[in-house]
Amino acid sequence: MSNKKLEKKYKLVWNSDLEILFYSEKEGSISVGGNSYVFDADTKEEIDAKILELGLIVIDPN
Amino acid sequence: MATQQQIIDLTYATLQDKADIVKAEQDGVILDTFHYGIINQMRLNNRITYADIKSYDSSLSLASSYLPEIKGLGKMVDITSLTAYNSPILERFDISMCTKLTNIYAQNCAKLESIGTTVNLVNLVNLDLSRTAFKDSENIVLPVTLKTLRMSHCGTVTSIMNASGRNLTELQLQNNAISYVGNVNTWGEMTKCELQNNTLDVASVDRVLSGLRNTYSQNQVLTLLNLSGNVAPTGGNTNADYLYLDTQGVTVIID
């Protein structure tokens, strides 16, 4: 079980293929379960840095 | 404007580009039913007849066009695919008569509000209306053949007529105003289900979780379920269905 709680404003979820599954700029917490990877931050710059650091991929603009 | 009878068996020798077609329309030779973009795409060139148009059975590609309306689809009943994405001023088209359609790709059309009804589109497999101004969801009756439905970021979509989604593999309805989701137990082939940022009540959130838990237990194809931006399920992140999917490795996102 890998239930993870993200509470900072900027939230990022991705899978083992480095594909971004979800990105949110909404306030409030979310819970993320399953075999995914998560990162949350207080600024968008930190999110962008993480995306660059890992080479995360946007798979769908929708 | 010419009558339908005038269009039948019409031969127009130089009907090859916009100017020719506009001229033909001005002459009253062609119904203004058909936009020149459609005529060009059909590449029928020197012979445009009602029969030619009706039997056009290929893909109609009008992506990135500047058409306010795609006129004449009611007479192009044999087209199998319609592509009209990235068309910034497109407001409407009507595919109600095009029962052979398998694909409709009309995403990123900021002014698109209506496409007619899908109730008779018994061959439809892929429908994408994401990032449009779509308001006519009561006419989107999902055929059982449908595999992918993308209507995210439309803002005003409130419901989807989903009698059976047994072939649905991908559902993207995020960022709308959907308050109710039903028939989840038919979603046996679902791999990605995105319902985040809607107005689902707790009963619907619970229903989606329990329904997809049931289908997952049968075929293990679900990889992503996103319900964040609605309300938390009963029990929050201790909800039994959420925990079951979590332990199975399914990425589930809830409030």
pLDDT in tens, B62-109: 888 888 888 778 777 888 999 999 999 999 999 999 999 999 999 999
Query: What pLDDT, on the 0 to 100 scale, is given for residue B52?
Result: 61
Query: What pLDDT, on the 0 to 100 scale, is given for residue B152?
Result: 95
* Whether pLDDT at B255 is above 50: yes
The residues, any chain, with a CB within 8 Å of residue A61's CB and separated by 6 or more, are none
Phi-psi domain of B98 (left: phi exceeds 0; alpha: psi -120 through 50; beta: other): beta
C-alpha B99: how far from chain center: 14
Query: What pLDDT, on the 0 to 100 scale, is given for residue B105?
Result: 97
Range scoring the smallest mean pLDDT among A20-29, B128-137, B215-224, B239-248? B128-137
Phi-psi domain of B45 (left: phi exceeds 0; alpha: psi -120 through 50; beta: other): left
| Contact criterion met (CB below 8 Å) for B248 and B220 | yes
Of A3, A21, A24, the CB nearest to B224: A21
Tokens representing residue B81 in the block: 């695919």
* Whether pLDDT at B166 is above 80: yes
The residues, any chain, with a CB within 8 Å of residue B34's CB and separated by 6 or more, are B53, B71, B72, B75
Range scoring the smallest mean pLDDT among B108-117, B152-161, B182-191, B243-252? B152-161
**Shortest distance, CA A9 to any CA of chain B (angstroms):** 13
Query: What pLDDT, on the 0 to 100 scale, is given for residue B19?
Result: 57
* Whether pLDDT at B26 is above 60: no
pLDDT band at B2 (very low <50, low <70, confident <90, very high): very low
Query: What pLDDT, on the 0 to 100 scale, is given for residue B244?
Result: 97
Cβ-based neighbour number of residue B32 at 10 Å: 14
d(CA B42, CA B91): 22
The reply to whether A29 touches chain B by the CB within 8 Å rule is yes
| Contact criterion met (CB below 8 Å) for B177 and B162 | no
Query: What pLDDT, on the 0 to 100 scale, is given for residue B59?
Result: 84
Percent of chain B with pLDDT over 70: 77
Q: Which helix (H) or strand (E) holds A24?
A: strand A19-24
- Give residue B108's identity as a one-letter amino acid code: N
* Whether pLDDT at B229 is above 70: yes
H helices present in B27-90, as ranges: 36-42, 50-54
Residues of chain A with Cβ-Cβ distance to B248 below 8 Å are 34
Buried b (16+ CB within 10 A) or exposed e, B37-65: bbbbbbebeeebebeebeebeeebebeeb
Query: What pLDDT, on the 0 to 100 scale, is given for residue B130?
Result: 96
Of B107, B197, B246, the CB nearest to A1: B246
pLDDT higher at B150 or A60: B150
Torsion of CA B132, B133, B137, B142, to 10 degrees: -10
Cβ pair B130:A15 closer than 8 A: no
Query: What pLDDT, on the 0 to 100 scale, is given for residue B156?
Result: 80
The reply to whether A7 touches chain B by the CB within 8 Å rule is no
pLDDT band at B182 (very low <50, low <70, confident <90, very high): confident
Query: What pLDDT, on the 0 to 100 scale, is given for residue B190?
Result: 96
**Shortest distance, CA B127 to any CA of chain A (angstroms):** 13
Query: What pLDDT, on the 0 to 100 scale, is given for residue B72?
Result: 73
Query: What pLDDT, on the 0 to 100 scale, is given for residue B148?
Result: 96
